[in-house]
Structure 1
Amino acid sequence: MAGPNPRSYDLVLYGATGYTGDLTAQYITTHLPSDLRWAIAGRTLSKLNTLASTLAILRPDRPPPAIVTVEHTKEGLSALANTTRVLITAVGPFHRYGSVVMEACATTGTHYLDSTGETPWVYEVAHKYHDLAKKNGACLITQCAMDSAPADLAAYALVRFLREKCDAGTKEVVHSIQEWKNGMSGGTLHSLVGVAGGYPFAHLKESIKPLALSVDGVRPQSKPRSFGLSGTRREEEVGLLTDSVIGISDTGLVYRSWSLMEYGEAFSYFTGMKAANRVSGFLWHAGLAMSLPMLLISPLRKMLTSVLPSPGEGPSEKAKARDRTSWQTVAFCDNSSAQKAVCEMEYSGDMYSLTALLLSEAAMVLLQPDGENWAQKLGGGVLTPATLGDQYVERVKAAGLSMQTTLIGQ
């Protein structure tokens, strides 16, 4: 890798033997440069050795990663962070295990990437570690995964596109999941259920507000929209929408990107998933509205946890072969014109493989920045995937995330 560096590694993958970690290790082995100085890290040496053997079979022509055992303690993780330029963590649930990793990176000036979708935890650490990370030049990028990074990148690409083509800011972005054929891992499901019991109700309530992740004191002129009682909303370019299961995490992340970058003062964001019709959309909306509060009841959480797949388990190779996801996003100029732009995205593959791609390519941008992205301009902090800019968009497109933006209207 370019440039001298006193640290032992360019990249450390922590939690490499878990479901997402294993896929990320495979992606790094098969796609990233062979001169990458990297290590796989975790608590159990035998599991790390087994993974290293698997990676050697995948790419026998490249040097194997180093193996680092580490205890999940403040001291152990601070020492680990001090050995590397970038640390990817796949150790969840993040509300239980993530804060000490992020603190270690913020303190040591180490760039950080994670795969969380736990918005209440992101709300906690974004306000807790942003200033410390910026002081030490660490870019701490959360939610760099399947659930919210595509929404964040689509919004960023559209804002950039409208600025370039129309010389205008963006008034509104409407994001939609058009197709979602994916299984869920045990770790993801346990995280989603467990986070509801990890915080007081007041914290949970505050963290899921649309602007909760925005930088302190930064608010748009426009009030975020919601579905209301009908549970649906029709938008010409994206169709009839209802609640998205990842709508809360998408919304918070995109508004944080807006607050860190220049999207337009009147910016607003809305997200959903395609509904077959208004009746099914309303029923889905009502079902989510009733089921989410049930996670606050401890006996119901324990009952649900007992029937979920174990952490570390995930969809089979046969099941993943059928997976596919597509998104469609529309953005409107904030000037008086009727111009708007549409971003169509598609990924043929499972979402955990997409997470591995997103994490790994983000690491390469942090290691080899082009000098143009907002993460560098901001100088660090708790940031978002979109702050990695055009370089990141181009890397993930080249790696297999189809993404096309077009201008429509007069």
Structure 2
Amino acid sequence: MTAVDREFDVIVWGATGFTGRLVAEYLLEQYGTGRELRWAMAGRNREKLEGVRGGLGPGAVGIPLITADSHNPESLRSMVERTSVICSTVGPFARHGSELVAACAASGTDYCDITGEVQWVRKMIDAHEDTARKTGARIVHCCGFDSIPSDLGTLFTHRQMQSLHGGPCESIKFRVRRMKGTFSGGTVASLLNALDEAREDRDARRTMGNPYGLNPEGEQQGPDGPDQRKPAWDPDVNSWTAPFVMAAINTRVVRRSNALCGYPYGKTFRYEEAVMTGRGPGGWARAVSMTAALGGFLVAASIGPARTLLNKLFLPQPGEGPDADARERGFFDIVLVGKRGADSIVTRVRADRDPGYGATSRMLGESAVCLAKDNLDTAGGSWTPASCMGDKLIRRLETSAGMSFELQENR
């Protein structure tokens, strides 16, 4: 069966979860039902799926519903063979996502998700790359806030540098300028699970500690070292900076994109991420405070009783999230500083929804539609957003998803 013979273009897997509901809501608003995009919602519980569909309003009555189980391979195979693309929101992915990726790879079904779990992505690449190449399945992880702004922002910055100065950037600094919103409960659960795996599994620990841990075998080395771990002054943005928690996945995705595309950025390309905290004593104090808070969280999350207290009092749980007003008031504003010799440029990536929920659901939804509907010159295999969808996804995000990619300065 070919993709054009399949019943659906996209199935949203995990539609009863918080982010899954948002993806379904976005697809309904943007593409409706019974029109060009043929899509369905799927989950484990039919009654809950019907509740989600009912909550989307009268326009959702025609959305087909599908039931399957994350740990029942036969039910997953039956589901994925009905669609061109599976759009997955069910995490932590290391616990609940492996059988689904296996089913997609075996069935030649394209797949995208919002994982930020480096160790799991590595396992999926190693386990299913050969099968996906044979069947034509395009497996694309990290299609949310981790790591689309980083991956597509880097691609966009390189395009600008080549156009203006005749070659790629030699280095790029990704800086979170401003951001309002919260990380999703699923992201937190995935981070906690990754900490557990790193403590118990030497291979997972090695992958997470290697700046090039997602690169193809034999290409896991380069000039970049560990991610930023302490406050630092950055003269390129005239600001103090603090470590960015999502650099652990984003930087590795960007480096994998470079490798998969044949090193268009160059084999000596350098890339790093951090959060801007401002100038002067206040900026320094904020950088120190953020660094201490992140370090304290990682330590506490690694200790059983402390983690229990964190979970009970402070951390969002999977399936929980902010209301519509809070999501709409959220945003992110990111700058990327690209350098090539004496030349430098500054680009900007922005979105008009909170990063963890509103913007992520739109990025994932458009990634799924891009895989289903755009003429992508990409064969089967394990890809990244930039290496698989690139400029076509950028155009979709700018046209439909409230994101912008723009050149800010040519220095």
Same structural fold, with TM-score higher than 0.5 when normalized by the shorter chain = yes
Query: Which amino acid counterpart does residue 74 of structure 2 have in structure 1?
Result: E
2:271 paired residue number:
269
2:62 paired residue number:
64
* 1:202 CA drift (Å): 2.1
| Matched ranges for 1:116-131 at <5 A | 116-131=115-130
Residues 109-133 of structure 1: per-residue CA shift (max 9 Å, x gap): 1000101122222232223222221
* 1:294 CA drift (Å): 3.8
State how far apart, in whole Å, the 2-side matches of 1:163 and 1:13 are: 37
> Could you tell me whether the CA contact under 8 Å between 1:224 and 1:270 is conserved in 2?
no
SS in structure 1 at match of 2:174 = strand
1:338 paired residue number:
342
* 1:287 CA drift (Å): 4.0
2:225 aligned with 1:224: yes
Which 10-residue stretch deviates more, 157-166 or 354-363?
A: 157-166
* 1:14 CA drift (Å): 0.7
> Could you tell me whether the CA contact under 8 Å between 1:238 and 1:330 is conserved in 2?
no
Identity over aligned residues, as a percent?
Answer: 29
* 1:188 CA drift (Å): 2.7
SS in structure 2 at match of 1:266 = coil
2:398 aligned with 1:397: yes
> Could you tell me whether the CA contact under 8 Å between 1:221 and 1:265 is conserved in 2?
yes
Residues 385-410 of structure 1: per-residue CA shift (max 9 Å, x gap): 1121111101101121022025623x
State how far apart, in whole Å, the 2-side matches of 1:282 and 1:51 are: 43
2:377 aligned with 1:369: no
State how far apart, in whole Å, the 2-side matches of 1:67 and 1:179 are: 39
Pairing partner for 2:330 from 308, 323, 327: 323
State how far apart, in whole Å, the 2-side matches of 1:68 and 1:103 are: 19
1:174 paired residue number:
173
Q: TM-score, normalised by structure 2?
A: 0.89
Instruction: Indicate how the Cα distance of structure 1 residues 342 and 131 shifts in structure 2: closer, same or farther if over 3 A, else same.
Output: farther
Q: Gapped runs of 5+ residues in structure 1?
A: none
SS in structure 1 at match of 2:5 = coil
State how far apart, in whole Å, the 1-side matches of 2:57 and 2:287 are: 48
1:190 paired residue number:
189
2:90 paired residue number:
91
Which 10-residue stretch deviates more, 33-42 or 352-361?
A: 33-42
Which 10-residue stretch deviates more, 354-363 or 204-213?
A: 204-213
Instruction: Indicate how the Cα distance of structure 1 residues 340 and 131 shifts in structure 2: closer, same or farther if over 3 A, else same.
Output: farther
Residues 129-176 of structure 1: per-residue CA shift (max 9 Å, x gap): 222212221111111002321111100111222223322122111001
Residues 174-212 of structure 1: per-residue CA shift (max 9 Å, x gap): 001111210233333222223322452523432322211
> Could you tell me whether the CA contact under 8 Å between 1:118 and 1:249 is conserved in 2?
yes
Pairing partner for 2:363 from 358, 365, 378: 358
2:312 aligned with 1:306: yes
Query: Which amino acid counterpart does residue 327 of structure 1 have in structure 2?
Result: I
SS in structure 2 at match of 1:10 = strand
2:159 paired residue number:
160
> Could you tell me whether the CA contact under 8 Å between 1:190 and 1:305 is conserved in 2?
no
Query: Which amino acid counterpart does residue 354 of structure 1 have in structure 2?
Result: A
SS in structure 2 at match of 1:321 = helix
C-alpha RMSD over aligned residues:
2.2
> Could you tell me whether the CA contact under 8 Å between 2:211 and 2:251 is conserved in 1?
yes
SS in structure 2 at match of 1:275 = strand
2:51 paired residue number:
50
State how far apart, in whole Å, the 2-side matches of 1:197 and 1:302 are: 14
* 1:384 CA drift (Å): 1.0
State how far apart, in whole Å, the 1-side matches of 2:228 and 2:6 are: 49
SS in structure 1 at match of 2:218 = coil
Q: Gapped runs of 5+ residues in structure 2?
A: none
2:295 aligned with 1:289: yes
1:381 paired residue number:
381
Query: Which amino acid counterpart does residue 152 of structure 2 have in structure 1?
Result: L
Instruction: Indicate how the Cα distance of structure 1 residues 128 and 164 shifts in structure 2: closer, same or farther if over 3 A, else same.
Output: farther
Which 10-residue stretch deviates more, 39-48 or 206-215?
A: 206-215
2:346 aligned with 1:347: no
Query: Which amino acid counterpart does residue 303 of structure 1 have in structure 2?
Result: L
Which 10-residue stretch deviates more, 299-308 or 342-351?
A: 299-308
> Could you tell me whether the CA contact under 8 Å between 2:197 and 2:205 is conserved in 1?
no
2:246 paired residue number:
246
